[in-house]
Amino acid sequence: MIRLRRAAVLLACLPLLGGLAPSSEQLGSRIWVGRYQEIEEYLKTAECVSMEVFGPDKVARCTLRPGGPVARIAWRPGPPGVYRGFRESYKAEIAAYELDKLLKLNMIPPSVARQLEGHDGAAQLWVENVFGLEPDASPGEPNRAEWEGQLARMTMFDDLIGNRDRNRGNMLRDAAWNLILLDHSRAFGKGTELPRRLTRIDEGLWARIDGLTRDRLDAALRAWLAADEIRAILDRREKMRAEIRSLPK
């Protein structure tokens, strides 16, 4: 976690310590890391044998036929709508995952487009063996610095995508204190205001954000976002840049 540039450099190195691939213990419940294509292809075709629907927005949990790499999926059907004043779209869920991959964030479970029961929507890996976040949840040493780093990266990502709906209900952690982020159906609007003020940054993530071009964003997101929604990502990045310049060195 950083407030000063010297600490930021150390934070940026933590997830890649020694240049080694993360161990199974470090991966925790993030079973998709390093298996993106395999998981994505399975989500597109796996048979849903039972469905449990939650709430008025019809988000559901599907249990899949046993034997595959994923046991359950979260299902968000289309078309886009408005709920409690928020514009919602299943396509934003997929866009968030695709941008997570582009930025090497590894916080958002695989999300793909598919049909279920005749409806288009987003199928997302249902992450198993995770916990909700209690207020002020934080691990002890030696994991505290990395946890705070993950919170900083979450804030940066939410500002980039214009996500005004981050709350403890869509933040999970596993036993290894890996932060897992859900529910981005209300992100990626046309507005350019930053949902949260930046007070700390991860320089490694900022370097990847700074390296985004319109061509790269179009290639990754054009199937899911309108042109002005993609342009708004770059506009929000410029506002992030201004805030970062004002942080103490």
Residue 9: inside a domain, yes or no? no
pTM confidence score: 0.88
pLDDT > 90? residue 142: no
**Domain count for the chain:** 1
Where b means 16+ CB within 10 Å and e means fewer, 179-212 reads bbbbbbbbbbbeeeebbeebebbbbbbbeebeeb
Residue 162 amino acid letter: G
pLDDT on residue 52: 93
Residue 200: inside a domain, yes or no? yes
Domain that residue 151 falls in: 22-245
Residue 3: inside a domain, yes or no? no
Token pair of 135 as six digits: 């207020």
Residue 136: inside a domain, yes or no? yes
Query: Each residue of 157-205: pLDDT tens digit?
Result: 999 999 999 999 999 999 999 999 999 999 999 999 999 999 999 999 9
Gap between the Cα atoms of 72 and 129, Å rounded: 12
Gap between the Cα atoms of 74 and 180, Å rounded: 14
Token pair of 88 as six digits: 């919602």
Q: Is 169 exposed, middle or buried (0-12, 13-18, 19+ CB in 10 A)?
A: exposed
CB 61 within 8 A of CB 126: yes
Token pair of 68 as six digits: 């595959």
Largest CA distance in the chain: 55
Residue 5: inside a domain, yes or no? no
Averaged pLDDT, 7-28: 51
pLDDT on residue 50: 95
The least confident of 126-130, 132-136, 145-149, 227-231 is 132-136
Residue 137: inside a domain, yes or no? yes
Q: Which of 11, 7, 30, 24 is closest to 150 using CA atoms? A: 11
Query: Each residue of 34-60: pLDDT tens digit?
Result: 999 999 999 999 999 999 998 766 789
Q: How many Cα neighbours within 13 Å face the side chain of 181?
A: 26
Residue 49: inside a domain, yes or no? yes
Residue 2: inside a domain, yes or no? no
Query: Each residue of 87-138: pLDDT tens digit?
Result: 789 999 999 999 999 999 999 999 999 999 899 999 999 999 999 998 888 8
